[in-house]
Structure 1
């Protein structure tokens, strides 16, 4: 049975991707850090579909925990078909106020963890039949947004990592990125902020977590000749000035 490993699977996009891959027939290895209770509930739901589910917890800003996580998943799952790097940090800070610690933590979670987890799990991926790595990018990795300099830098680097690994790990391991626009507004956004953003989206609505999950399943099941690509799922927002 094919297995997919998803980081940050306890909530939002990560949980939607887990459900979609579970419904598509994948067994699941799921990671969370702060959302362990939600992850356990999700695991029970997926086991109800007949899926095998294993759970992992780690702080992806800590290099030692990342290494330990990679070793555990590799030992438990000698073959992986899908690796989804969904876990990420997102915070609004004026550029002049970003501390070295905030910068370090942002890049550790959003860039270093995907880099070194893929490296650790490469033997398992190479043992898969048609292995796929998916990075969760962001429109902010290609379009500048004020007050998110460290976040945007981390996502821009992740998109280049997508292309670099697609070239180096071909032909057996495919690597792509899914780049959401506005998906499931943060709770901190008030009505005025939400309306201002919606006015800049040609499709006139925010995306859903299921919109992202469907694209991940498409890449895994229906796109064996697609690698090194960044698929924007943003309602057309990145297509206009």
Structure 2
């Protein structure tokens, strides 16, 4: 069976991606930080499908824990077919209130962790015939959003990392990005905020985690000539001014 590693696999988009990959035949290595219960739920469903599934915990913002996770994954999974760098953090903070601690944690989890985890798992990726790396970016990586300076900067870096690795790791390793728009409203978005966002989405609805998961499966199973691309999953929101 092919193996997929999914970070942030216990909630929201990561959970949907992991389940979708299990459904099409992948064994799972599921990373979480705190959402262990959700990841164990995914693992149980994957095993019911006849897959193997293991949950690994690590704070990706802590270099020591990231390195330990990478070592454990390499030892347990000498071949990795798909790596999905999904884990990330998101917060609304005025620019003047972004401390160095907030900035470094945002960059550490959203940009440095995908960088160094991909680097550490390269031997396992290269040990398979058609490896794929998928990075979860954001449409905000290319469009300014007020009060999210450190977040959008981290995702902009991840977008360019995606393109850089697609060039450098070719021809064997494919690297693509997925940029969700509004996929599942954050819990702190009030009704007025939700309505304002919906008014800017041509398809008239927010996305679902499954909308993103379907694109990951497409890239893994149906798109061997697609690399270096960042696919927006946003209901055409980014297609208009």
TM-score, with structure 1 as normaliser: 0.99
CA RMSD of aligned residues (A): 0.5
| CA distance in structure 2 between the aligned counterparts of 1:228 and 1:166, rounded to whole angstroms | 5
Tell me the residue number matched to 1:106.
106
2:196 is equivalent to residue 196 of structure 1: yes
2:65 is equivalent to residue 65 of structure 1: yes
Where structure 1 has 5 or more consecutive residues not aligned to the other structure, the ranges are none
Where do residues 143-182 of structure 1 align in structure 2 (5 Å cutoff)?
A: 143-182=143-182
* Deviation, structure 1 residue 82: 0.2
Where structure 2 has 5 or more consecutive residues not aligned to the other structure, the ranges are none
SS at match of 2:231: strand
Equivalenced residue count is: 241
SS at match of 1:15: helix
Tell me the residue number matched to 2:238.
238
* Deviation, structure 1 residue 41: 1.8
SS at match of 1:175: strand
CA deviations over 1:80-126 (Å, ceiling 9, x no partner): 11000000000000000000000000000000000000000000000
* Deviation, structure 1 residue 37: 1.5
2:53 is equivalent to residue 46 of structure 1: no
| CA distance in structure 2 between the aligned counterparts of 1:198 and 1:38, rounded to whole angstroms | 28
CA deviations over 1:2-35 (Å, ceiling 9, x no partner): 0000000000000000010000100000000010
| CA distance in structure 2 between the aligned counterparts of 1:207 and 1:37, rounded to whole angstroms | 24
SS at match of 1:87: coil
| CA distance in structure 2 between the aligned counterparts of 1:28 and 1:46, rounded to whole angstroms | 8
TM-score, with structure 2 as normaliser: 0.99
CA deviations over 1:163-206 (Å, ceiling 9, x no partner): 00000000000000000000000111111100000000010100
* Deviation, structure 1 residue 55: 1.2
Tell me the residue number matched to 1:137.
137
Tell me the residue number matched to 1:11.
11
